[in-house]
Amino acid sequence: MTDAPVPAAREHPVPARPRFLLTLMRSGCASERIYRWTLPAHEGRLSDGREYNACPTAGICKDLCFARAGTYRFSNVLAAHQRNLQYVMDDLPGWERQMTAELQHRRYRSADGEPVHVRVHDGGDYWSVPYLQAWLRIFRSAEHVTFYSYTKQVALFEKWVRPDAPANFAWRYSYGGTQDDLIDPLLHHHADVFPDEASLDEAGYTSQTPSDLRAVYGPKTLGVAANNIPHLRARQGVQSFRSLQRSANAEKAARRAKRRGPSGRSA
191 forms part of the interface with ligand SF4 (CB under 6 A):
no
CB of 107 to ligand SF4, least distance (A): 26
Q: Pick from 3, 62, 95: which is nearest to 232 by CA? A: 62
Contacts to ligand SF4 from residues 13-32, by CB under 6 A: none
Spatial strand order of the sheet with 116-120 comes to 23-24, 34-37, 116-120, 145-151, 169-174, 190-194, 221-225, 206-207
41 forms part of the interface with ligand SF4 (CB under 6 A):
yes
- Whichever of 41 and 116 has its CB closer to ligand SF4, that residue is 41
CB of 153 to ligand SF4, least distance (A): 9
Query: Which member of 123, 139, 146, 225 binds ligand SF4 (CB under 6 A)?
Result: 123
CB of 94 to ligand SF4, least distance (A): 25
Query: Which member of 34, 37, 38, 58 binds ligand SF4 (CB under 6 A)?
Result: 58
CB of 211 to ligand SF4, least distance (A): 20
CB of 244 to ligand SF4, least distance (A): 12
Query: Which member of 22, 65, 161, 232 binds ligand SF4 (CB under 6 A)?
Result: 65
* Per-residue H/E/C for the chain: CCCCCCCCCCCCCCCCCCCCCCEECCCCCCCCCEEEECCCCCEEECCCCCEEECCCCECHHHHCCHHHCHHHHCHHHHHHHHHHHHHHHHCHHHHHHHHHHHCCCHHHCCCCCCCEEEEECCCCCCCCHHHHHHHHHHHHHCCCEEEEEEECCHHHHHHHCHHHCCCCEEEEEECCECCHHHCCCCCCCEEEEECCHHHHHHCCCEECCCCCCHHHHCCCEEEEECCCCHHHHHHHCCCCHHHHHHHHHHHHHHHHHHHHCCCCCCC
Query: Which member of 36, 62, 220, 246 binds ligand SF4 (CB under 6 A)?
Result: 62
CB of 72 to ligand SF4, least distance (A): 9
- Whichever of 140 and 248 has its CB closer to ligand SF4, that residue is 248
132 forms part of the interface with ligand SF4 (CB under 6 A):
no
CB of 99 to ligand SF4, least distance (A): 20
233 forms part of the interface with ligand SF4 (CB under 6 A):
no
Query: Which member of 90, 125, 180, 212 binds ligand SF4 (CB under 6 A)?
Result: 125
Residue ranges that bind ligand SF4, judged by CB under 6 A: 41-42, 55, 58, 61-62, 65, 67, 123-125, 152
